[in-house]
Amino acid sequence: MKNNSNAFKALCTSGKGPFLLTIVDCGRILAVFVVLGSLILAAGQAHAQKVFSVSGKVADATDGNSVPGATVLIYAKQSEQSLASALSDENGMFRLNGLEAGLYRIRISYVGYAAFVVNDISLSKNDPERNLGTVKIAPDQNNLAEVTVTAEKPTLEFAADMITYNVGNSVLAEGSTATDILKNVPMVEVDIDGNASISGKRSTRIFIDGKPSDYMSSNIADLLNVLPSDAIEKIEVMTNPPVKYSGDGEGVINIVLKKGFKIGFTGNVGITAGLQGNMNTNANASYKAKTWSVNGGLAYRENLGRRSGSVFRENFFPDTTFYYDQHNSSRSWSNGGNARIGLDWDITPAQNLRVSSNYNMGAGDTRSQNDFGYLNEERIQTRLRNQANTSASDNNNFVITADYSVDDKTSGEKFSAGININTNSSEADRTFDRRFAFPANLSPSLQQNSSATANNGINATADYDRPMRDKKDRLELGAQYNFRKNDNDLRVENFDFAGNRFLINPRLTNQFLYRENILAAYASYNFRENGWSVKGGLRSELTNVKFDLSGGDRYDLRPYLSVFPNISFNRFFRKRYNIGATYSVRINRPRENTLNPQIDNSDSLNITYGNPLLVPAYTHQADISFGVFGQKWSFTPRIAYSTARGVIERYRIVRTNGISESTYQNIGTNNNFSLILVGNYRPTKTISTNGHFSLISSDYASALNQSLNRSGLSIRGSMGFSMQLPFKTAFEGNLNYANNVNAQGRARGSVTSSFAARKVFLRNRLHARIWLSDPFGQRSNEFLNEGLNFRSQSFSQSNTNNITFSLGYRFTQVAKQPSIPPPPVK
């Protein structure tokens, strides 16, 4: 213990500069783990005599082969929390011991297979050891399994290169949005603006139902903030995405929407309101007949945001040093709506057609104030400028998707084709009123910006899958086409006080047009033998990008071909161990947000713009994982390494006049070495915990600027726990910590937390929930930034601490699932 304490102290106190942790940061880390450790140590419960068991074998429904490593969970009939779990061994066998007499159900799941539920398993003195025989689960090669939405699922499921977060079993997810849910998913970090990323990954892409969401909206954060949790089945965090997914992004977060429903009519309505002025309401319903089903939903939300912050920048030049002291405050109001409808039709027992559409709209209004102070070398303030800002915006997007599939049960062959058509637009009007408090002889300025953005896209896919080698292996082939069109029109006007009118600013007014075509093909082979699983794949993408400015500049990039190999090994052995290894190549393409050279001078001392000369960055990444599983716990440490060339990050310089310019650059090379720990523990039947910890060492090397040749540590961690309490009450909590490094600085440590309690009434139909978000204080962020001639420190706070109340009602008229009869008596 003494050695560990010394190591922790060394980490917290050694060295200088923004890349090392302060005592405050380390105190926050320690506090989080002390609290969580106390919760686990405090959990205890007396155990009754448990001498009953359930056993069986898990097999592939297509070829009859055993499925090793499948997760088997058992539930008491009326419980929402699983009592115990087990993994099938190399022969597909499983056994759950230490059970009491009673009525149970089990759920069997495995990555790439649709989950299977067995109901009404009775254990009694006359039948203490129940053998279910062979339970066959069906492969789902689309990775978008249609599970029975009323079945209970574990909140988290772990695989070698993917974590699955099942939304329906989380108390924190009720009455919330996709953004709220992502904050509770292990290995996922959500920043203050609602952008999600995966720990240890420089770039993360968000997919919805296997399709890239950046083809559906110009602002992904806005899209996720209006998508209700009741529409989401699960969230898949992929650290090594299969070749059927785009090669762009080092990791993928795939949000899977609900699709599978039991026969009959089912749905829910709910409303949520918070003390900070936020509210949302939603309604969802579905009807399923024998061969078809229809489902839909409506949602509306309002949000009130408050933010404050400060920036202190030191500017040092050979002949002088001066300082900027900036203070900001803002108040924003936004609303949004979502409407969804879908049709699922089994044309024949082997053919299926699914059509869905989704419409989102939103609007916002912001008022903010900026005070800019100029300090000379003696740190005496010589100028003070006040800036009042207003902003009004609205956006909408529409998506329609059609998917057709053929599944030959006899041969095991599958074919699917789909098309996604989307369009979205946004408009914003902003004004900036700048006036000097002193000296009084400096002239004021008034500027107004009007922007209109339109996006249109098409995503088309075709996929063929067939069994090989007596149905032991599988071969998958596919092709995809993506088209994206972006039109960004910016009009800037400055007020002429002499003529009392606005005049167009020709230097800042511009129109940016972007076109992207990507044609892709892929192939993968999955080999399985004696507990081994080896999957190798290759994906190629031909990219053609064109963009130009109304000012006359045109960029026709030469089409380029990229090849992305992907291979993974997995071995399950001795009934409790799993070892895996992966390797893949990924790409980070510059798109309109990073390429667009339109200048944003809303903060005239800190202007930003894109860089049309950016080139793609390629990353080679590999990891090794080792999982060990017990009756009540699992632990999966992972070591990952990645090297990227031409890394795209923001790069900041300060001119001699003190104006900071920030743009994107291919800054150089970045090597990451990561230690990632993921695990869960169930100390009692009613308490479950899960945790994640990442330690990431980053080394930057750049020929662009010697100030970019640096290294640092990033630390991220999360801990979640849930409890089933008496009287159909549940409690759940989550804590997150992040301290991240980048090429020019560090985002200092921040802690976020959320806690929720739920009470169920009326035979599980009525749900009441109270949710505490950041109860220990407002979310704060601190950023340190360094360059050759500047050093800055910024701090911000937002009104994330909130108490919300939710009320939901579920109605259902469905047929009961048939129970599996007991095995015949021999």
Rg of the chain on CA atoms, in Å: 28
pLDDT tens-digit profile of 786-825?
Answer: 888 899 999 998 888 899 999 989 887 644 444 444 444 3
Alpha-carbon torsion angle 237, 243, 247, 249, nearest 10: 10
Rounded distance between C-alpha atoms, residue 581 and residue 600, angstroms: 44
Spatial distance between the Cα atoms of 19 and 98, rounded to a whole number of angstroms: 50
Q: What letter would DSSP give residue 250?
A: S
pLDDT higher than 80, residue 696:
yes
Matching residue, tokens 């985002």: 747
In single-letter form, the type of residue at position 415 comes to F
Name the residue with higher pLDDT: 210 or 283. 283
Find the helix or strand (DSSP H, E) in which 786 lies.
strand 779-786
User: What pairing do the DSSP bridges indicate for beta strands 52-60 and 129-137?
Assistant: parallel
| DSSP line for 568-587 | EEEEEETTTEEEEEEEEEEE
- pLDDT of 80 reads 61
10 Å Cβ neighbour count for 334?
20
Which has more pLDDT, 386 or 110?
Answer: 386
Instruction: Tell me: pLDDT of 279 over 80.
Output: yes
- Rounded-to-integer distance, Cα 606 and Cα 603, Å: 5
Say yes or no to pLDDT of 496 above 70.
yes
> If pLDDT is split at 50, 70 and 90, which confidence band does 688 have?
confident
DSSP state of 817: P
The sign of the dihedral angle between the CA atoms of 745, 748, 749, 753 is negative
Q: Which of 409, 656, 565, 528 is nearest to 90 (CA)?
A: 528
Q: Which amino acid is at 638?
A: R
What is the predicted pLDDT for the residue at 390? Answer: 97
Average pLDDT score over the chain = 83
Q: How far apart are CA 409 and CA 470, in angstroms?
A: 14
What confidence category does residue 654 fall into, taking pLDDT thresholds of 50, 70 and 90?
very high
* Cα–Cα dist 366/141, whole Å: 46
Distance CA 671, CA 200 (A): 11
Residue 126 pLDDT: 75
Q: 624: pLDDT confidence band, cut at 50, 70 and 90?
A: very high
> Cβ distance 666 to 650 under 8 Å?
no
Q: What is the pLDDT of residue 118?
A: 87
- pLDDT above 70 covers a percentage of the chain that reads 85
Among 21-35, 425-439, 471-485, 681-695, where is mean pLDDT lowest?
21-35
Q: Mean pLDDT throughout 692-720?
A: 85
d(CA 289, CA 267): 15
Rounded (5°) CA angle 332-335-336: 145
Question: For position 815, what pLDDT does the model report?
Answer: 47
- In order of 69, 294, 530, the CA distances from 59 in angstroms are 11, 32, 13
Burial classification of residue 821, based on how many CB atoms lie within 10 Å of its CB (0-12 exposed, 13-18 middle, 19 or more buried): exposed
The upper half-sphere exposure of residue 759, i.e. CA atoms within 13 Å in the direction of its Cβ, equals: 6
pLDDT at 216: 54
Find the mean pLDDT for residues 497-517: 93
C-alpha span between 690 and 736 (Å, rounded):
12
Q: What is the pLDDT of residues 610-619, one digit of tens each?
A: 999 999 999 9
Determine the Cα–Cα distance for residues 270 and 768; give it in Å rounded to an integer.
Answer: 10
Specify whether the CB–CB gap between 181 and 206 falls below 8 A.
no
Beta strands in 180-278 (DSSP E): 188-190, 196-198, 204-208, 211-212, 232-238, 251-257, 264-274
Is the pLDDT confidence value at 43 over 60?
no
Most confident of 113-117, 159-163, 580-584: 580-584
pLDDT of residue 258: 78
Q: For 383-419, write each residue's pLDDT tens digit.
A: 999 999 999 999 999 999 999 999 988 888 999 999 9
- Confidence grade of residue 240 (pLDDT, cut at 50, 70, 90): confident
Identify the band that residue 174 occupies on the pLDDT scale cut at 50, 70 and 90.
low
Q: How far apart are CA 259 and CA 295, in angstroms?
A: 8
pLDDT value for 367: 97
pTM for this entry = 0.77
Residues 6+ apart with CB under 8 A from 666: 614, 615, 617, 646, 647, 648, 704
> What average pLDDT does range 221-250 have in this prediction?
83
Residue 36 confidence (pLDDT): 43
Residue located via tokens 């920030």:
662
What pLDDT is attached to residue 441? 86
Residue 448 has pLDDT above 70, yes or no: yes
Q: Within 10 Å of residue 265's Cβ, how many Cβ atoms?
A: 14
For every residue of 659-718, DSSP letters joined together read -EEEEEEEEEEEEEEEEEEEEEEEEETTEEEEEEEEEEEEEEE-SS-GGG-EEEEEEEEE
How much is the average pLDDT of 549-553?
A: 72
Mean pLDDT of 15-21: 41
Tokens for 669? 């090379």
The answer on pLDDT for 17 being more than 50 is no
Whole-number pLDDT of residue 400: 95
Task: Cis check for the bond before 439: say yes or no (omega within 30 of 0).
Answer: yes
- Per-residue model confidence (pLDDT) at position 19: 40
CA distances from 222 to 80, 176, 394, 532, 747 (A): 32, 14, 11, 43, 23
Asked which of 66-80, 207-221, 769-783 is least confident by mean pLDDT, the reply is 207-221
- Work out the pLDDT band at 142, boundaries 50, 70, 90: very low
Token pair of 115 as six digits: 């989950």
pLDDT the model gives residue 453 = 94
Residue 127 tokens read as 């039948």
- List, in order, residues 6 or more apart from 348 with CB less than 8 Å away: none
First to last CA, the chain: 57
Token code pair at residue 729: 């009450």
The predicted model gives 693-710 an average pLDDT of 83
The H-or-E segment that residue 595 falls in is helix 592-595
Whole-number Å distance between alpha carbons of 368 and 154 = 44
Longest dimension (CA), the chain: 102
